[in-house]
Amino acid sequence: MEPIAVGFMVLVGTAAFIGAVVGAIGGAITWRVGANLALGGLLTAGALLLVLVAEGGGRVTWLSAKLTWGAPSMAFTYLVASVSARWLQARTTLRRTGTALAAFAVALSLGLLNLRLFGLSLRAPLLGALGAGVCLILLRIRDRSGPGEG
């Protein structure tokens, strides 16, 4: 394989990993402080952008490629942290900080499992995150309109 192709694959993998970590942290923090899910998502996306620019040494040359693979991982782990925090809070006796840490661990674990799909193809984690993200959004909407809310 050409050195440039290997370098691009490393760039893609690093961006996806950074996206997974930032999304898990953002989702746990958003749930812990009780912020709006959409506002927390926007702030987490901004944090991902800043981290990717800082990781590149301030250069924005490959930023669109980094965002292409980093944003789906970020969105996936952000949604997993949000859904798992609500689930853990309802079913355990953990305090809010413990619940946020557990949700972070669950989101990061599932995010890293999603990144294992790179072994199948370069686009597999994107499609996996997209499909799981749609399911998590539907689960979140269903959970909000369920009989327990009111």
Q: Please report, rounded to a whole number, the percentage of residues in the chain having pLDDT higher than 90.
A: 40
**Amino acid, single-letter form, for residue 140:** R
Q: Using CA atoms in the order 29, 69, 138, 110, what is the torsion angle rounded to 10 degrees?
A: -60
State the burial class of residue 139 (Cβ atoms within 10 Å of its Cβ: 0-12, 13-18, 19+): middle
The model's pTM is 0.84
pLDDT at 46: 95
When pLDDT is averaged across residues 111-133 and rounded to a whole number, the result is: 83
Angstrom distance (rounded) from CA 76 to CA 122? 17
**Helix (H), strand (E) at residue 8:** helix 3-33
- 71/130: higher pLDDT: 71
User: What are the tens digits of pLDDT across the range 18-75?
Assistant: 999 999 999 999 999 988 888 999 999 999 999 999 988 888 888 888 888 899 999 9
